[in-house]
Amino acid sequence: MSRLTARFWVDAYLARLRFQDIPAFVTAHGDDTAGAVLVKLNTLDGEARAYQRSFDLMTGDRKWVELVAGSDQDVESSIAKQRQFDSDLWVIEVEDRQGRHLLDEPGLD
């Protein structure tokens, strides 16, 4: 089974967010081919969450799981630590007061 490049997935995700009028920005550009992606959801109230894609070894499914939640500053700090270990990491910041990130929609796993 072929996989999409990280850049293709990021571009498609940003387009889907724009279609729903949800602002999002690439805050760290990772490796275009195989970089991992973190999605930070900023609810614009001082709180945030970061999500990463996980692989379920039992089922073979890929899904998005919450990596960290808390104050925006704490989430930013956690993301910065992740970037120290993985310079190929993409970070996308989604800004939505309603908490929409669309990661639970079909096709984004």
Residue pLDDT tens, the chain, 109 long: 456 799 999 999 999 999 999 999 999 999 999 889 999 999 999 999 999 998 877 887 888 999 999 999 999 999 999 999 999 999 999 999 999 999 999 877 7
Sign of CA dihedral 81, 27, 52, 23: positive
Note the pLDDT of residue 42: 98
Query: To which residue do tokens 């930013």 refer?
Result: 76
Q: Is 40 helix (H, G, I), strand (E, B) or coil?
A: strand
Note the pLDDT of residue 93: 98
- Give whole-number Cα distances, 8 to 13, 32, 46, 57, in Å: 9, 8, 31, 25
Closest Cα to residue 99, out of 47, 60, 30? Answer: 47
Which tokens belong to 67?
């990596």
